[in-house]
A = this chain, B = another copy of it.
Amino acid sequence: MAGRNHLYIPGPTNIPNEVLNAMHIAMEDHRSPIFPQLLTPLLQDLKKIFRTETGQAFIFPATGTAGWEIALTNTLNPGDKVLIYRFGQFSHLWAELAKRLGFDVEIHQETWGKGMPLDKLEARLKEDTGHEIKAVLATHNETATGVTSDIAGVRKAMDAAKHPALMFVDGVSSIASIDFRMDEWGVDGAISGSQKGFMLPAGGAFLAFSQKALKATETSTYPRCFLDLQDQMNTNKDGYTPYTPNLPLLYGLRKALDLLLEEGLENVYARHHRLAEGTRKAIAVWGLKLCAYPGFESDTVSAIMVPESKDARHVISTAFNKYNISLGAGLSELAGKAFRIGHVGDMNDVSMLGAIAGVEMALLDNGFDIKAGSGVAAAIEYYRGTAK
């Protein structure tokens, strides 16, 4: 099929050509005396994205799933109790991972479409006077439902309960796109991945840990090796890695960080919000509902519910096969009930208008009662009014 594929999934996201080129490199000796000139500044600048000065950043040649595992296995002991609220496929998977790894996982099922229930959290933590809960796992941005949780609120709830648990945050689809403040919010372990806001292929787990979490690694008895933080710390301090690094990923990250820091994180957040908001204007005009309840709308991905009479999979399939647009599917409970538009990463107004126009075609083809051009019109008005 001629013409490019139009990629609007919430990850992997579109890679800017500059980043792709930065990854197109000859291999080099990762034990050379000049290798630290690459790695050390990368780790420093990564901290800026996590917005931590007191914490430490890490790069693993792995994925976000590994990131979830790293946080738990490096800081906790086998059987430790962890608390998680499940409100989407990714919080579900994190909970499952914790269970499979042998932790005592206390799962609270929440409405898919809402985020962290701050009152419940505070109440539960207050109950836990014995401090059996060793960690709270919070999904900042539920990629499956397009829901953003209030992480500052999580900290407030933990502080209100005077609870010493570690706070781990899944920021795979938020960090580098949506406002995230590790130090200010008292996050102990922040987990992200290369393939969303960082505009890279999957294959990099990017994390940051607080001093409190790093202290906990010293007493953790959980067996681990490939995903060990101490090994990273021991080698990173001199600018090296415990095993062969993925060089293209590191060079790509260098360029991606340069782009993000040059734009400025506040501008990056604002851009994502603006592009998301235009998309939401279109969705509203179509008469469709987000999976996200008001106040929980994500700026990186919109999960759009279809009426019961429709199957969202057909929308996705039409978009892909007829128009070469890739949309995100509804996952698990949402399979067939929702489709998703990613508005994360290297995007701008016209990118999103292409997505919206393409979705309109797929909706119309599937008998949705919408007016051609209506969503685009709504987005156009919003973008025009808010563009610089």
Find out whether the CB atom of B324 lies under 8 angstroms from the CB atom of A348. yes
A361 to B349, CA, bound (A): 10
Q: Is A350 an interface residue (CB 8 A)?
A: yes
Q: Is A193 an interface residue (CB 8 A)?
A: yes
Besides the known contacts A23-B248, A65-B243, 20 further A-B residue pairs in the complex with CB atoms under 8 A apart: A2-B346, A3-B346, A3-B348, A4-B14, A4-B26, A17-B25, A29-B328, A32-B320, A32-B326, A33-B320, A33-B321, A64-B244, A65-B225, A65-B242, A100-B223, A100-B228, A102-B223, A193-B244, A322-B387, A322-B388
A388 to B373, CA, bound (A): 21
**Binary contact readout A79-109 vs B (1 if CB under 8 angstroms, 0 otherwise):** 0000000000000000011001110000000
**Nearest B residue (CB) for A267:** B2
Q: Is A336 an interface residue (CB 8 A)?
A: no
Task: Name the residue among A201, A322, A380, A383 with the largest chain B CB count within 10 angstroms.
Answer: A201
Q: Is A13 an interface residue (CB 8 A)?
A: yes
A242 to B364, CA, bound (A): 33
A159 to B367, CA, bound (A): 54
Q: Is A235 an interface residue (CB 8 A)?
A: no
Q: Is A66 an interface residue (CB 8 A)?
A: yes
Mark the stretch among A115-123, A146-154, A160-168, A351-359 that contacts chain B.
A351-359
Closest Cβ–Cβ distance, residue A89 to chain B (whole Å)? 12
Q: Which chain A residues in 189-247 approach chain B with CB under 8 Å? A: 193, 195, 201-203, 223-228, 242-247
Number of interface residues of A (CB under 8 A): 106
Report B-chain residues with C-beta under 8 Å of the C-beta of A24: 17, 20-21, 23-24
**Binary contact readout A343-386 vs B (1 if CB under 8 angstroms, 0 otherwise):** 00011111101111110110011000001111111101101100
Report B-chain residues with C-beta under 8 Å of the C-beta of A324: 348-350
With beta carbons under 8 angstroms apart, the residue of B9, B23, B263 that contacts A23 is: B23
A241 to B101, CA, bound (A): 20
Report B-chain residues with C-beta under 8 Å of the C-beta of A65: 225-226, 242-243
Find out whether the CB atom of A384 lies under 8 angstroms from the CB atom of B357. no
Report B-chain residues with C-beta under 8 Å of the C-beta of A202: 61, 243-247
With beta carbons under 8 angstroms apart, the residue of B29, B248, B329 that contacts A7 is: B29
**Nearest B residue (CB) for A13:** B27
Closest Cβ–Cβ distance, residue A83 to chain B (whole Å)? 18
Residues of A at the B interface (CB closer than 8 Å) are 1-7, 9, 11-17, 20-33, 61-66, 68-69, 78, 96-97, 100-102, 193, 195, 201-203, 223-228, 242-249, 259, 263, 268, 271, 317, 320-326, 328-329, 346-351, 353-358, 360-361, 364-365, 371-378, 380-381, 383-384, 387-388
Report B-chain residues with C-beta under 8 Å of the C-beta of A69: 225-226
**A–B pairs, 17, beta carbons within 8 Å:** A1-B348, A2-B268, A2-B346, A3-B347, A4-B351, A12-B30, A29-B326, A63-B246, A96-B225, A193-B244, A203-B203, A203-B249, A325-B350, A349-B358, A365-B384, A371-B377, A373-B380
A21 to B325, CA, bound (A): 22
A225 to B62, CA, bound (A): 13
**Nearest B residue (CB) for A272:** B2
